[in-house]
Amino acid sequence: MSMKPEADSEGSWYEDDFEKIDRFGSTTTTSRGDLGVERQVRDWEDESSEEKQFSSHPESDRQPLPVVMETASTVMELLYWRNLKQSGLVFGSLLLLLFSLTQFSVVSVVAYLALAALSATVSFRVYKSVLQAVQKTDEGHPFRAYLEVEMSLSHDQMQKYAENAQYYINSTLKELRRLFLVQDLVDSLKFAVLMWLLTYVGALFNGLTLLIMVVVSMFSMPVVYEKYQAQIDQIQEKIPGAKRKAE
């Protein structure tokens, strides 16, 4: 009389050999070692398929999202003074902030700006409330239109900005790794010369002074070049070795 292999409470067999029923109903004897090899082969195949799928979409091939193009277009409109009020407001605010940082600490500047904004809004709110009480009108809150404006970012917007930031951060890290690990000797030497020149610039100017100069240049040079493009191109053609940028 043949003995059947014993099973535990979960129904798994403890014998070295047991019968496996295939799709056609026939039974084949398979050892536990063979099953382990089959599972390992399947795991290797799954891992290789995942690696191929990941490598088919390398991160370096990703392109910037359309939100970057929209932001760049808005910045160009500000720098070329397409809207005088908006460009003047942004330019004046940046200069005021930078000049304030040269005289006070960051904490003091933030506190003074917050107090100035609160003083303006509280004064206007009190003025409108008194005016409504005298005229016996009920116009409601003076900032109702701004309070009802939706200011929260949607999930899609947050995801776009996060993916865009991730793209540029990864690109910057890869470029720095390439320069510091001397993947290209010429590029690394150029980067070293640039850093050496920046040591002299840092000795002459501090960071805030450089930022002020950069902001003034960004808001002035594009307009000057656009207005005097013909004269600047003529001067550029007279400079030896200078090539005019193709239009």
pLDDT of residue 116: 93
Indicate the pTM of the whole model.
Answer: 0.57
Q: How confident is the model at residue 2 (pLDDT cuts 50, 70, 90)?
A: very low
In DSSP notation, 136-189 reads T-----TTHHHHTS--PPPHHHHHHHHHHHHHHHHHHHHHHHHHHTTSSHHHHH
Which residues are CB-contacts of 80 (< 8 A; sequence separation ≥ 6)?
Answer: 222, 223, 226
Strand partners, 27: 21
Q: Is the pLDDT of residue 42 over 70?
A: no
Using left for φ > 0, alpha for ψ between -120 and 50, and beta otherwise, residue 27 falls in beta
Query: What residue segments make up the domains of the chain, in order of their start?
Result: 69-135, 184-246
* pLDDT per residue as tens digits for the range 58-104: 444 455 556 667 777 888 888 989 889 999 999 999 999 999 999 99
Strand partners, 30: 18
CA 152, CA 161: separation in Å to the nearest integer? 14
3-state DSSP assignment of residue 27: strand
3-state DSSP assignment of residue 53: helix
